[in-house]
Amino acid sequence: MHIANVRSFFYNFKTGIHQQRSSCNACQLVCGPGDGTTRQAARFCRGNKLNQMTTIYLIRHGQASANAPVYDQLSRTGYEQTRELGRYWAARQLPIDLIACGTLQRQKQSMQSFQEGLHSTGGRQDETSLTGKTACFPALDEIPESTWRALGSELRSSDPRLERHFQSWLQLRSSGSRRAGLFFSKITAAVLLYWLEGKHQPHIPSFADFHHKVLQILTEIRQFQEQQHIVLFSSGTPIALLCGQALGLKAAQSLALVRTIRNSSISILEMHRRQLQLVSLNCTPHLQQPAGITLV
């Protein structure tokens, strides 16, 4: 089942349903063994065994410390999310040829916690390639905090409604209220659109430059052509832009994905030569409890 039109795309985007046309390992990761979707995809994969592809697992970092003095570090929940993902991965004996992250602490900590989970389950993981090479790619970084603050401050000064949303978010964020997430989502959407439209002051770095930097990761990955299973720990905006690139979306449509990409979620791309295909988006099969699924 391909994402053939807008309706099917948003259905799968909202529910996190895995697309059937994918590699066997990707199916096993997102759907789990014995799932009907997995069996159908496996039949497709056997027919394409000679068609060498690189599978890219885009993983958003675990929950950061939104209520702490320093945001750029994982919360206790964030550590649990990514460690559980590592356990889930190891239980399915999925290979990793290259594992990488950006330069942000929450991305590095997520990768480390994931690796701890990989090695905490025992069993036969020593017989598999669960620990590949490691690397760090700045192209995986989120929007710089300085850019985000400058955009937000500039827009709030000219938009009273956004200022009210911001003040409401400040009051609610420490309470754990779901409404805090709703206000944050509205703020995020407004700031990203403002940035995309280029209405900001010229001293603020442009969206076009950031977008170009994110897409550079595809060029960097091609240098590792022998690596077929690549795990990348990144953040919401780069993941949304990369998935949007695979879908052929406009930048504004890609940015609309940012608001719903969950912490520690898995989005899977397949790359063959210069072709990029989205296999699955925003899946969290390793998080069994609703309380463990977070956006902020």
What per-residue confidence (pLDDT) applies to 292? Answer: 86
Average pLDDT rounded to a whole number, residues 82-108 = 94
Q: Model confidence at 38, in pLDDT bands (50, 70, 90)? A: very low
Domain range annotation of the chain: 8-40+51-141+224-292, 145-204
What percentage of residues in the chain have a pLDDT greater than 90? 54
What per-residue confidence (pLDDT) applies to 37? Answer: 39
Residues in the chain, overall count? 296
Beta partners for 52?
none
- Output the CA–CA distances (angstroms, integers) from residue 290 to 52, 142, 285, 294, 295, in the order listed: 37, 26, 11, 9, 12
Q: Is the pLDDT of residue 5 over 50?
A: no
pLDDT in tens, 259-271: 889 999 999 999 9
The dotted CATH code for 8-40+51-141+224-292 is: 3.40.50.1240
Q: Sign (positive/negative) of CA torsion 5, 10, 13, 18?
A: negative
**Strand 266-272 with 275-283, pairing:** antiparallel
Q: Worst-scoring range by mean pLDDT, 90-99, 149-158, 174-183?
A: 174-183
Name which residue leads in pLDDT, 197 or 223: 197
Name which residue leads in pLDDT, 38 or 61: 61
Q: Model confidence at 127, in pLDDT bands (50, 70, 90)? A: very low
Amino acid found at 293: I
Q: Is the pLDDT of residue 48 over 80?
A: no
Alpha carbons 221 and 224: distance in angstroms, whole number: 5
Q: Model confidence at 180, in pLDDT bands (50, 70, 90)? A: confident
What per-residue confidence (pLDDT) applies to 74? Answer: 96
